[in-house]
Amino acid sequence: SIVWMNGAFIDRSEAKVDIEDRGYQFGDGIYEVIRVYNGQLFTANEHLERLLGSGDKLSIQIGYSVEEFKGLLEQLIEKNNLETGIVYMQVTRGVNSRNHAFPAEDTPPTYIAYTKEVARPTEQLDNGVTAITVEDIRWSRCDIKSLNLLGNVIAKQKATEADCYESIQYRDLTVTEGSSSNIWIIKDNAVKTHEANQFILNGITRQKIIELCQGNDIEVVEAAFTIEDLIDADEVFLSSTTAEVMPIISINNVPVGSGEIGPVARKLQQLFQDAIE
Least separation in angstroms between CB 243 and ligand PDD: 8
Least separation in angstroms between CB 168 and ligand PDD: 11
Binding-site string for ligand PDD from residue 206 to residue 245, where x marks contact by CB under 6 A and - marks none? x--------------------------------xxxx---
Rounded alpha-carbon distances, angstroms, from residue 37 to 66, 87, 118, 119, 243: 19, 11, 10, 9, 13
Please, are residues 134 and 127 in contact by the beta-carbon 8 Å criterion? no
80 vs 240, beta carbon nearer ligand PDD:
240
Report the site for ligand PDD in 242-261 (rule: CB under 6 A): 242
9 vs 70, beta carbon nearer ligand PDD:
70
Closest-by-Cβ residue to ligand PDD is: 203
Up-side HSE of residue 64: CA atoms within 13 Å toward CB? 21
177 vs 235, beta carbon nearer ligand PDD:
177
Least separation in angstroms between CB 20 and ligand PDD: 25
Q: CA gyration radius for the chain?
A: 19
User: How many residues make contact with ligand PDD (CB under 6 A)?
Assistant: 15
Please, are residues 159 and 166 in contact by the beta-carbon 8 Å criterion? yes
Beta bridge partners of 3: 10
- Among the options 79, 116, 145, 208, which is catalytic? 145
Interaction of residue 54 with ligand PDD, rule CB under 6 A: no
Binding-site string for ligand PDD from residue 149 to residue 178, where x marks contact by CB under 6 A and - marks none? ---x------------------------x-
Please, are residues 23 and 78 in contact by the beta-carbon 8 Å criterion? no
Residue 207: strand, helix, or coil: helix
Task: Look up 187 and say whether it is catalytic.
Answer: no
125 vs 204, beta carbon nearer ligand PDD:
204
Residue 193: strand, helix, or coil: strand
Integer Cα distance of 89 and 4 in angstroms: 9
Least separation in angstroms between CB 179 and ligand PDD: 7
The residue range among 12-20, 59-67, 197-205, 248-256 that interacts with ligand PDD, by the rule CB under 6 A, is 197-205
If you write DSSP's letter for every residue of 222-237 in order, what string do you get?
E--EEHHHHHT-SEEE
Interaction of residue 203 with ligand PDD, rule CB under 6 A: yes
Where is 47: in which H helix or E strand?
helix 44-57
Integer Cα distance of 236 and 246 in angstroms: 9
Where is 156: in which H helix or E strand?
helix 150-161
201 vs 265, beta carbon nearer ligand PDD:
201
4, 28, 29, 33: which one binds ligand PDD (CB under 6 A): 33
Catalytic residues: 145
